[in-house]
Every structure is written in C-alpha cells, then in structure tokens.
Amino acid sequence: MAEHKYSPKEAMIFSQRVAQMSKALWKAVEKDWQQWIKPYDLNINEHHILWISYHLQGATISDIAKFGVMHVSTAFNFSKKLEERGYLQFYKKDDDRRNTYVAVTDEGEKLLLEMNENYYDTKHGILDGSLPIKDLYGKFPEFLEVMSVVRNIYGEDFMEIFERGFTNIKEAYDDSSGEMVAVGHSKRYENPTSALIAAEEK
C-alpha cells in the first residue's frame, strides 16, 4: 500500500467537513430548485433531464444518467414521463439501433425557455447567501477547488457538459433590460438530430 501524505484524522475531518457542507448546501439548493419548477409541475429529476437533453443535443439514456448523476432506471423512468407529457421524444439512429436517444420537443423547449425567463419569480437562498461575496469581490464564488475535485471524480467529459449548459445560456439570453429574454433562434434547430427525427416522421 502506498504511503499516504495525510493522517487518518486529517482525512476524516476533511471528508466529514465536505459531507456536512454538501448536505447543508444541497438542502438550500433543493428548496430553491423545487420552488422554481413547482409552477410547471416538474420534479428536480425531470427538470434536470430536460436540461441535459436540451444542451447535450442527442443524448442517450446512459448519457443522461451519467451527467445527471442518477441511476439509469431513474433517467429512463422520468424520461418516459416527460415523453408522455410531450416534452421529450425517444428515437433510434439508423447507424446505432442498440441505444435509445432522446430529444427535446418543441413543447419541451418552449417550457425550458419560459422557466429560464421566469427564474426570478421565486426566491433563491443560495443566490442571497452569495451576494456578500459578490459585493466584496465583484463576482460570485467560482468554487474552483470544488470544481477541481468534481473533475477528478467524474472526468473531463462531465465538466465539458457541465459548462456547456451555462455557455448556451450566456449566448441565448439577454438581460440588459434587467430581465431574462431569449434572443436569436433556437440552438436545438442547429442539431442534426432534430433533422433526423423530422425526416423519420415523414
């Protein structure tokens, strides 16, 4: 066994500190998230699946499970519920009949855009808790050390998808008026997957 460069006590204190902070943060995040999506009759898993499907553009159920940090059965079951409501569409590719892919429908995209534009209709404890840091340093916390830990656990591809969603938001919305307003055309229509689905439906 390789010699560790830390003591057992140091390791335990670090692990428990992360665990306790993560739990406290998650409770606040969970409350904020649930309040935001409640008017749209979605739960957190359903919203997360829609978010991943929209930004990944042609995701498999395995992709959703991986990037949503959920079990494959959870990803599949909630994706089916979203399909039943007309927000997601399941399909197979001609060159890959083994995997099941999902794409956000027009209704699903419309829902996501509406939710993003109405983000400030609810209170956000995490945002409020971060404002003193922004006031002091001129920016919100970036959690660079935490991001590094997550990268080391889940890998570079996880972080690439993680960041893609936020990059898309920066490009797709204008908030110069003080409100979130969608601009330009939908990213989804640049996705060849959408053309594939449309062709298969004809």
Identify the DSSP state of 103.
E
**pLDDT above 80: residue 4:** no
Q: What digits encode the pLDDT tens for the residues 48-89? A: 999 999 988 889 999 999 999 999 999 999 999 999 999 999
State the average pLDDT over residues 170-190: 67
Separation between Cα atoms, residue 122 and residue 33, nearest integer Å: 9
> What is the DSSP secondary-structure string of 9-32?
HHHHHHHHHHHHHHHHHHHHHHHH
Could you tell me the pTM of the whole model?
0.81
Structural domain boundaries of the chain? Answer: 30-201
State the average pLDDT over residues 117-145: 93
In 34-175, DSSP assigns E strands to: 59-60, 88-93, 96-104, 173-174
Q: Which CATH class is domain 30-201?
A: mainly alpha
